[in-house]
DNA sequence: ACCTGAACACCGTTCAAGT
DNA sequence: ACCTGAACACCGTTCAAGT
């Protein structure tokens, strides 16, 4: 008899909760199963495997990204807002920086976000592959910044400073650098705009 | 009787070879041990655990990075060269992008590299925290670019294009974007130089 | 149709015991 | 001092068997 205890949507939500609270390594099929009141093997009836769960969880999170309209606020404000929102999302779900490297396949939400971001740079005046490259440059920088500040690091940090010098950047440093670097990048991009109005 | 079959240096080199050929998930203590002619448990006598091996392997790779002198070639050429070299290194050792997120502790080779990179931006005219931020901006962008092109992705890509549209960037795209983005960033940074000579 | 239990082939790590 | 073997507590995944 079908008990319908599990559904794809429940599995994905439970996976996200587990990843957020336990980190990238905290997600295991058995733990996910027990969190849903069943066994790890039960999950396999609804889902292909762990990889698909990560795929679904990743795209579910992308769905929450706001997509500001460049009309009215200007392309630069829109670009800055989207970069900050993306960074905030990556901080909220640190496991994303490990699941991001996949060039493909992206889910529909990720694709939708990227399309919108591209339209922002097209609104700025970039065309064709230049718009794509501008988009990718900013996206890449934000992703790299999040990677830098990920508490979810593959290696745990031990003794931080042996000589009293704060060699390693703090979360503060990284965050301040987002504003600085983004400003510099947008300046550089702006100076390459083909025609000014 | 000590057979001295193992040494720290041998372990690290074997680990790098294993990571390069099998990917980030290819390194296991047992495989490492058997590659060295012993058992996995034997490694634990020479090394604290897997984490330390990753730490040592990471810093060993950083030692191979060339450190060009900005004198003569100019800061911008030096900065570009270092960025390209870093990207090339990350492509050679894709597992590095998973071991990089650690803000600390860095090994001596990584620290030495960062010091040199900082000096390049100081030679350009940046001072204090601005030099640090410029350094971190470029470093972050290169790291993000490598993350984008990592074949070592956490999730394997399956069906690439369902509708015939090449949504996902190819390795070519990512590589071309390194030059574009780096140029834009350096332009943006250059325009922020406090005093021009 | 949906789930359980046990199994397979792996992990990192520990630790008594050997030499 | 250096290594082995077996063990512990985990993994992802499969699959017969239950209901």
To the nearest whole number, what is the mean pLDDT of chain B?
A: 87
Considering only alpha carbons, which residue of chain B is nearest residue A192?
B184
d(CA A43, CA B30): 30
Characterise B170 by phi-psi region: left (phi > 0), alpha (psi -120 to 50), beta (else).
beta
Q: What is the mean pLDDT of residues A140-161?
A: 63
- Predicted confidence band of residue B165 (pLDDT cuts 50, 70, 90): very low
Among B39, B45, B14, B37, residue whose Cα is nearest residue B27: B14
- Predicted confidence band of residue A104 (pLDDT cuts 50, 70, 90): low
CB B23 within 8 A of CB B93: no
Among B9-23, B66-80, B162-176, where is mean pLDDT lowest?
B162-176
Percent residues over pLDDT 70 in chain A: 83
For residue range A47-68, list pLDDT tens digits in order: 999 999 999 999 999 999 999 9
So what's the pLDDT on residue B134? 97
> Which residue has 């601005």 as its token pair?
B130
So what's the pLDDT on residue A134? 97
DSSP string, B136-155: HHHHHHHHHHHHHT-TT-SS
The distance of B3 to chain A (nearest Cα, Å) reads 31
Q: Which two tokens stand for residue A16?
A: 């996200």
- Does A147 have pLDDT greater than 70? yes
For residue range B45-89, list pLDDT tens digits in order: 999 999 999 999 999 999 999 999 999 999 999 999 999 999 999
To the nearest whole number, what is the mean pLDDT of chain A?
A: 87
CB contact under 8 A, A98 and B169: no
Characterise A56 by phi-psi region: left (phi > 0), alpha (psi -120 to 50), beta (else).
alpha
- Does B152 have pLDDT greater than 60? no
- Does B153 have pLDDT greater than 50? no
d(CA B87, CA A49): 33
- Does B3 have pLDDT greater than 70? no
So what's the pLDDT on residue B112? 94
Q: What is the mean pLDDT of residues A40-45?
A: 98
- Does B171 have pLDDT greater than 80? no
Show Cβ contacts of residue B28 under 8 Å, excluding neighbours closer than 6 positions: B40
Percent residues over pLDDT 70 in chain B: 83
d(CA A58, CA A96): 7
Nearest to A137 among B100, B111, B177 (CB): B177
C-alpha distances in angstroms, B52 versus A156, A197, B12, B31, B35? Answer: 10, 56, 10, 16, 18
Phi, psi of B75 (to 5 degrees): -65, -35
CB contact under 8 A, B140 and A148: yes
> Which residue has 């690290």 as its token pair?
B12
d(CA A83, CA A77): 10
d(CA A187, CA B8): 48
**B77 Cβ within 7 A of any nucleic strand D atom:** no
Among A174-188, B35-49, B102-116, where is mean pLDDT lowest?
B102-116
The closest nt to A27, taking CA to C1', is: D11
Question: Measured in Å, how far apart are chain A's first and last C-alpha atoms?
Answer: 68
- Predicted confidence band of residue A172 (pLDDT cuts 50, 70, 90): confident
The distance of A49 to chain B (nearest Cα, Å) reads 12
């Amino acid at each position: 008899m079908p008990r319908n205890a599990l559904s794809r949507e429940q599995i994905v939500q439970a996976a996200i909760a587990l990843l957020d609270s336990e980190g990238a390594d905290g997600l295991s099929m058995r733990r996910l199963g027990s969190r849903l009141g069943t066994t790890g093997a039960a999950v396999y009836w609804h889902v292909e495997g762990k990889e698909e769960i990560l795929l679904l969880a990743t795209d579910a999170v992308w769905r929450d990204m706001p997509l500001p309209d460049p009309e009215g606020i200007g392309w630069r404000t829109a670009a800055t807002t989207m970069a900050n929102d993306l960074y905030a999302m990556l901080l909220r779900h640190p496991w994303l920086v490990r699941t991001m490297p996949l060039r493909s396949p992206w889910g529909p939400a990720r694709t939708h976000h990227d399309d919108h971001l591209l339209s922002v740079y097209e609104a700025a005046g970039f065309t064709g592959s230049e718009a794509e490259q501008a988009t990718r440059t900013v996206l890449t920088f934000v992703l790299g910044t999040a990677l830098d500040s990920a508490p979810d690091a593959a290696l745990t940090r031990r003794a931080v400073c042996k000589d009293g010098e704060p060699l390693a950047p703090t979360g503060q440093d990284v965050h301040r650098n987002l504003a600085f670097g983004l400003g510099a990048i947008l300046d550089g991009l702006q100076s390459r705009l083909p025609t000014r109005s």
